Chain A
Amino acid sequence: MADSDVARLGREVSSFTRYLVGRPPTQRLVLRYAEALATLGLAHPATAFDGRLLRTALVHPFATEMLDTACALLAKDSLLRRRLFVLAGLLETEPTFAELFVGQPPGRIRIAVGLLGAGTRAGLSFILGAPMLLALRWTS
């Protein structure tokens, strides 16, 4: 892999990991991610839309959440969703991040507040992300 590709993947893992679990990735995770994309045939965008989507998420990390939210409903099979899905699987099987997945649940009040907060945030993300996604789809 060319140095520029390695650097780009490093930025991507860093941005996506912060988005998914709010923490920076480990170097090991970056390597596993690169290997996984190659193994699963996800190393290169298959369509121009996928390419634009990924580039936008990379250049504007704050947009990842909005684009992911919009893709969840409007572009389920997009490369962005697939790569995030792979990364979620890798994060879950990385001891450094395990406690985020296997820890005990918070109390009921925290669950209620957490669900309400996350739901509101997802709603807002969709409102902002959907037009961005449509614009990316229709840009030639």
Chain B
Amino acid sequence: MNVLVVGSGAGAVQASLELLERGLRVRMVDMGTRASPATPGLPARGFHELRTSDPEQQDYFLGRELEGIPFDDIRTGNKLPPLKKHVIASDAERPPSETGDFVLNQSLSRGGLAMSWGAGAMPLRENDFGAFPYGLADLAPYYEKVCRTIGVSGDKDDLAERLQAPEALQSPLELDTPSARLLAAYRRAGRRMRDRGLTMGRAWLAVTTEESPNRDACAYNDMEFWGDADTAVYRPEWTLRELEKNEAFEYLGGLEALSFEEVGGRVRLDVCETATGERSSLEADALVLSASIPGSARIALRSLGRFGAEHSVPICTNAYSYVPCLYLPMLGRPVRDRRCSLAQLSLLFEPDADPSHAIFSSVFTYRSMLTFKLLKEAPLPYRFGLDVFRMLLPAMMIVTVFHADEPGAGKRYWIEKDDGGGVERDHIRYEEDAAITLRRDRTEKSLFASLRKLGLLPIKRIRRAPGSAIHYAGSLPLSARDTELTCTGEGRLRPFSRVWVADASALPMMPAVPPTFTLMANARRAAHHLADELAR
């Protein structure tokens, strides 16, 4: 029995692992763009040491084309560091689109978006499963498996009490100086904060603190944001390398999956070689769509010949803001160089019992960013700006804010053929209800009122355009209702019998908590059910 898996991202590699464990053969069809061979590597040394001694540092901090010197508005576009730039497809690489204000970042690269993700890996809470056709108990064993394969570190603190901590959770990363102080202040405030609906704890990150044969332990070089000098931060590439050692697995890069058809109890997938444009077909006993959003929905719509707005599918994304803050107790205090540059703390803010009103936040410190980028955002003369930021930087924190999102009539994705009938275009219409936007605004204000009590002063709330969170979900949603282009509770795509979905498309809503840990667990679960089905 063999299965075709489309995509090589976080969802695809988990589905492949499960299928191989169940004795199936897997061929992975992937666009698979990679960084150019000329892209420099990242030296395995600390941020401070590199900054003070490496004459070539411009290559990885600013990029060889100086793409790290941003002139556009930070509210739009994506600011991946130069070494990760290839992860998000450029306008020329991706299909033409009309998305209005909606920012649609797609990856067509080997390993997908998680080659540059922030590694925030948290499970959903029981009450987040309202729209799912199954519950937390069904997903818990798969969270556990994913936790073991990607390596998640975190603490069994207040936050862990609100989530169900997997047994395989590794010991937490060391906190940096400002975050340790902030967490201590939260703990001192104790029940007062929890009564306001605020739970704070260490971030759960897919960053290993324990060394294993395939992974390094975090070296606290403070360079994790800029690139991968080692394998401590989880990337799908680490799993792909393991998969490629298995003779039952084959990676077919440089292939675009176009559409599929079920023929005689098997599936035929039409593909196109990206380098030559040559078309061919592959056959298998089943197909797993893991080409993300909108990739999987695009392939499914095309296969059914559903073009035009009347055949649209849902799309969800976290409403997202970020807020530079000044942490007053850190003013004038020294900080340690030894730190990890990813999120330090996570916050769950629940103003009431409704999970769709919850906010999830991550707290970052600005230590290993470059000061000059802040200058552009401040209406200050540069000299003054440099002086001010130099003095204030150790006390600067960035709080990111994510709101849950649910599908709605105004949030749709579809494909359309141009009049000539040739070129296909992605379309997104994304309109949020004004009352919901207002409620979110009020919730953010009360979150920051609580944080002020801990000494964290917000400087400016920067609201990003929808889609900027780069968390998308819900185009082929799991659903108990038997409707076309939804997934059964097991993950099979209706109306097909041999096609399964193993990426964020299947999540029926976008939780406030980042989605990738859940989409990986769901991909494992779908692959498990697919293997059962094939065994029958």
Contact = CB atoms under 8 A, between A and B. Distances in A.
Q: Do A and B come from one complex?
A: yes
Interface of A: 19-21, 28, 32, 36, 39-40, 65, 68-69, 72-73, 76, 81-82, 84-86, 88-93, 95, 98-108, 110-111, 114-115, 118-119, 121-122, 125
A115 B388 contact: yes
Contacts of A88: 371-372, 375, 382, 386
A78 to B, nearest CB: 12
B52 A98 contact: yes
Given A103-B390, A108-B332, 16 more contacts: A21-B386, A32-B58, A36-B66, A82-B71, A84-B382, A86-B69, A88-B375, A89-B68, A93-B62, A95-B57, A104-B334, A105-B393, A111-B391, A114-B387, A118-B387, A125-B381
A100 B382 CA distance: 14
A70 to B, nearest CB: 9
B381 A93 contact: no
Given A95-B52, A105-B390, A114-B391, A40 B66 contact: yes
Contacts of A102: 47-48, 51-52
B333 interface: yes
Sorted nearest first, the 8 A-B pairs with minimum C-beta distance are A108-B332, A69-B381, A88-B372, A98-B51, A98-B52, A68-B381, A104-B334, A122-B384
Kindly state the interface size class of chain B when it binds its partner: 35 or more
B332 A106 contact: yes
Contact of B391 (A40, A68, A105): A105
Nearest to A81: B382
A121 B384 contact: yes
Interface of B: 47-48, 51-55, 57-58, 61-62, 65-66, 68-69, 71, 331-335, 370-373, 375-376, 379-384, 386-388, 390-395
Contacts of A32: 58
Nearest to A41: B71
11 contacts: A20-B383, A20-B386, A72-B381, A92-B371, A95-B52, A101-B51, A102-B48, A103-B390, A105-B331, A105-B334, A122-B381
A90 B69 CA distance: 9
Contacts of B334: 104-105
Nearest to A86: B69
B379 A92 contact: no
Contact of B55 (A85, A89, A95): A95
B375 to A, nearest CB: 6
Given A39-B66, A102-B51, A20 B382 contact: yes
Nearest to A122: B384
Nearest to B51: A98
Contact of A68 (B66, B370, B383): B383
Contact of A85 (B375, B392, B394): B375
A57 to B, nearest CB: 12
B384 A89 contact: no
B69 A40 contact: yes
B332 A93 contact: no
Contacts of A108: 331-332
Contacts of A104: 334-335, 394
A89 B382 contact: no
Nearest to A39: B66
B81 to A, nearest CB: 13
Nearest to B370: A92
Given A86-B69, A88-B372, A105-B394, A65 B383 contact: yes
A65 B387 CA distance: 13
A105 B333 CA distance: 7
Nearest to B371: A101
